[in-house]
Chains A and B, each alone.
Chain A
Amino acid sequence: MTRVMKPAALLPLALMLAGCDGWQSAWDVHGESAISLKQLIILIVAVCSVVWALVMIALIVALLRRRVRAEPPVAVDAGTERRMTITVVMAVAATVVIITVFTVSSFFTTRALSVAGGDDLTIKVRGLQWWWGVEYFGASPEQRFETANEIHIPVGRNVRLQLEGLDVIHSFWVPSLAGKQDLIPGRPNELTLRAERAGVYRGQCAEFCGLQHAHMSFFVIAEDQAAFDQWVNAQRQGAAAPPDEETAAGRQAFLSKPCAACHTIRGTAADGKTGPDLTHVGGRTMIASGLLPTTRGSLAAWIADPQTLKPGNNMPMVPMTPEELRAISAYLASLK
């Protein structure tokens, strides 16, 4: 029985550990706060494991070496009393020391997380059912721009995120870079992100927020300063003019349909505020908050029937002809 049980018991453990690396893991850390959180987790787990092992050993020894006395001892044995006193004092002292160490290290980790970096890069992140609005600022109001579900940050800089929930409570969590922070309606929160290594990190809403909570992910793309500046400059531009006839027809259809009532495409008449900004939607990795990779086909599928792909989301099924659908998806895919 035990011979069969052992590999069977190890299998789930191996599977769990296999999930510990990749682009969304609190174990595979590349951000300052995530690193200190991981150190705290390791410290606490290690100390608690040792304590647990010692208690178990003492318990087993006590069980194996139990002595049955015929009658309760009447006389007090001075030697036993001393040994017992030492044991109890040691156990109490160990408890006090461990709790103190945990409290102090937890305090310093939390303090390191809450100190906002003295950096001028501030990004506003809004949580909505079920996507993320991202807003960048500049020296002047016209340098401000919005994007969605994708946050670009420069490597090695403290980036201050202003978090705001617009409908229900969401939680911003990029396990590889930082701890969780809630987005609460009416209560602005802040979080400092600092990526130590360039890469794409996946984040996920970590507070149950309704039907499509599981499909509310985003990406943090950390890149070096030059690439980041280039990206910012490209994003500040309005949408490019349609390169060919089909995309021009797509723009026309987009503007005349209900699409423009909810979505903004800077540089056109579309200035709706309730849906994600689509000015450079073709250049983002995923659409619909990490649901599908951005291709012309996935855009068409999403527009044709959003309620089948992501039931309950707030994008309605807009009636349109197949030609219009093809043109609009071609136009959106061209918005790099």
Chain B
Amino acid sequence: MRTLLVLLIATAMAGCQREQRELRLDPPTAAALDKIALMPNGISGAPPNVYFALDKPYESNAYNLSQGKRLYSWFACKSCHGDGQGGIGPAFLDGWWYYGPEMVSIFASIRDGRPHGMPAFREKMTTEQIWQLAGYVQTIGAYRAKTAAPSRNDEKQTRPSENRAPAAKLFDEGPTPVHPDQGPTP
């Protein structure tokens, strides 16, 4: 009986642990986060070691995803990519990543720009902001559902929420199979 009670209390206490918000990134850490290793063709590569030391904070931390969502509208990503459906720029919702779905590719696309109109944001945003935005963009076209979600929309929803893995349906065997080129890199 007593063991059961202790177990119950321990289970309840486990719920007290909340996600940590890293509000202030130390300048040396921010500088180190900028040192990504990109493949020569600009697609995929490796994030710096500090990214793993921080436990990949920009993919799974709800606060960072929310900040990324804020930056998505602040830096007018919507004007080309819409609400993820695309427009002048490519869509994120369809799961078709021109430069792969890895964080480093998205980070490099935002920081350095890409051919055919994607501008570089190196001079407009800090490294931390670019990582936050990259995490959010990856979430829009994620293949797998995330437990962390950015804040909800105030305006009308035009698509499923970001954490509902909108691109996952592309891999359903369903009545109309997807294009063989689409999907996550092996």
Stretch of A14-22, A26-34, A226-234, A304-312 that contacts chain B: A304-312
Pick from B21, B123, B126: contact of A316, CB below 8 A.
B126
Distance in angstroms from A285 CB to nearest chain B CB is: 27
The 0/1 profile, CB within 8 Å of B marked 1, for residues 54-73 of chain A is 00000000000000000000
Interface residues on chain A, size class: 10 to 19
Chain A's closest residue to B124 (CB) is: A261
- How long is the Cα–Cα vector from A227 to B124 in the complex, in angstroms? 38
* Contact of A257 with B by CB under 8 A: yes
Pick from A186, A261, A312: contact of B154, CB below 8 A.
A186
Distance in angstroms from B149 CB to nearest chain A CB is: 17
* A258→B125 contact, CB < 8 A: yes
- How long is the Cα–Cα vector from A274 to B73 in the complex, in angstroms? 10
* A317→B70 contact, CB < 8 A: no
Distance in angstroms from B73 CB to nearest chain A CB is: 9
Q: Which of B103-161 contact A (CB under 8 A)?
A: 123-126, 128-129, 154-155
The 0/1 profile, CB within 8 Å of B marked 1, for residues 304-332 of chain A is 01011001101011110000000000000
In the complex, given contacts A186-B155, A261-B125, A317-B27, what are 9 additional A-B residue pairs having Cβ atoms less than 8 angstroms apart? A185-B154, A258-B126, A261-B124, A274-B74, A305-B24, A314-B67, A316-B128, A316-B129, A317-B25
Measuring CB to CB, which residues of chain B are less than 8 angstroms from any residue of chain A?
21, 23-25, 27, 30-31, 67, 70, 74-75, 123-126, 128-129, 154-155
User: Considering the complex of A and B, which 5 residue pairs feature the smallest CB-CB distances, nearest first?
Assistant: A307-B24, A261-B124, A316-B126, A274-B74, A311-B23
Measuring CB to CB, which residues of chain A are less than 8 angstroms from any residue of chain B?
185-186, 256-258, 260-262, 274, 305, 307-308, 311-312, 314, 316-319
